Amino acid sequence: MLEGIVRNDIGKKSSKALRRDGYLIANIYGKGLENINAAFKMGDYIRTVKNKENVFFDVKVGEQEIKVVVQDYQTHPVTDELLHVDLMVAQSGVKTRYYVPVEPVGTPVGLKNKGVLS
């Protein structure tokens, strides 16, 4: 479970200070819920996202445990470093559209038979 802190100070100065300390700025939101401004350790976030089994994962911010999905993220244009992430709460009974990555497994039949694509 990814653990983070609740950000009380919102703004450029406090965000830069958190990034300097190795944190990733995040917003957690959902339909009918109050937005949560949070920050996660960059290494913990990357490790959690890379090792997850499905689209959803659990986070703990303050005393709340929430099941979330990555909705959007921002990277630095030059260094490609993560700057900000938007996490949406997975709510039952709320219709939502998710983009799920698909990884093909195995060798296609056409390649096995030395087929040519025209």
pLDDT at 116 over 70: no
CA distance 76 to 102: 26
Cα(111)–Cα(113) distance, rounded to whole angstroms? Answer: 5
| CATH number for position 32 | 2.40.240.10
Separation between Cα atoms, residue 14 and residue 19, nearest integer Å: 9
The number of folded domains in the chain is 1
Q: Please check whether residue 117 lies inside any domain of the structure.
A: no
Q: Answer whether residue 36 is part of any domain.
A: yes
Which structural domain range is residue 59 located in? Answer: 2-112
Nearest to 92 by CA among 32, 45, 52, 51: 32
Rounded-to-10 torsion of CA 44, 47, 52, 57: 20
Tens-place pLDDT, residues 27-78? 999 888 889 999 999 988 888 888 877 778 888 888 889 899 888 888 899 9
Cβ partners under 8 Å of residue 84, min gap 6: 24, 25, 26, 27, 73, 74
Neighbours of 105 (CB within 10 A): 5
Residue 109 has pLDDT above 60, yes or no: yes
Q: What percent of the chain has pLDDT over 90?
A: 16
Instruction: Tell me whether residue 17 is in a domain.
Output: yes
Q: What are phi and psi of 25, to 5 degrees?
A: -80, 135
In a domain, 62, yes or no: yes
Instruction: Determine, yes or no, domain membership for 118.
Output: no
Q: Is residue 76 part of a domain?
A: yes
Structural domain includes residue 44: yes
Residue type, 5: I
